[in-house]
Amino acid sequence: MSKQVSFDFRQINSLNDFYDQFAQQFSLPDWFGHNLDALWDMVSAGIELPVTITFSHMSAEQRIKFADVIDVMNDAQDMWEEEFIFALDITKSSN
């Protein structure tokens, strides 16, 4: 059964907030780096699959701010196909 992980961007204001939540959601070790390379290392080989990751309540500004993170998630989905599902909920945030 696929693990379901959701990131509510009403609670995420910075890249550091995202990396903190990512590390917590996946019970990553303290040495997890808060950067795109470390994120790629985890989604490409460091987390248990299958997994579905959803980003919800992202504002247009956040979609720009977190574009590189979204790209990493899309790349992981391309690599792992049905083992790694990434969903971007583009419904308008009620911020």
Q: Which of 6, 41, 5 is nearest to 32 (CA)?
A: 41
CA distances from 24 to 12, 40, 78 (A): 13, 16, 24
- Give this prediction's pTM: 0.91
Give exposure, 66-89, as e/b (b: 16+ Cβ within 10 Å). beebbebbeebbeebeeebbbeee
Q: Is the pLDDT of residue 87 over 90?
A: yes
Residue 9: how many other CB atoms lie within 10 Å: 21
In the CATH scheme, what is the code of domain 3-88?
Answer: 3.30.370.10
What pLDDT score does 2 carry?
84
Pair type for strands 84-88 and 3-8: unpaired
Average pLDDT, the chain: 93
The residue-averaged pLDDT of 54-70 equals 96
The residue-averaged pLDDT of 6-28 equals 97
Task: Out of 23-27, 40-44, 88-92, pick the least confident.
Answer: 88-92
Residue 45 amino acid letter: A
Burial class, 52, CB count within 10 angstroms (exposed 0-12 / middle 13-18 / buried 19+): middle
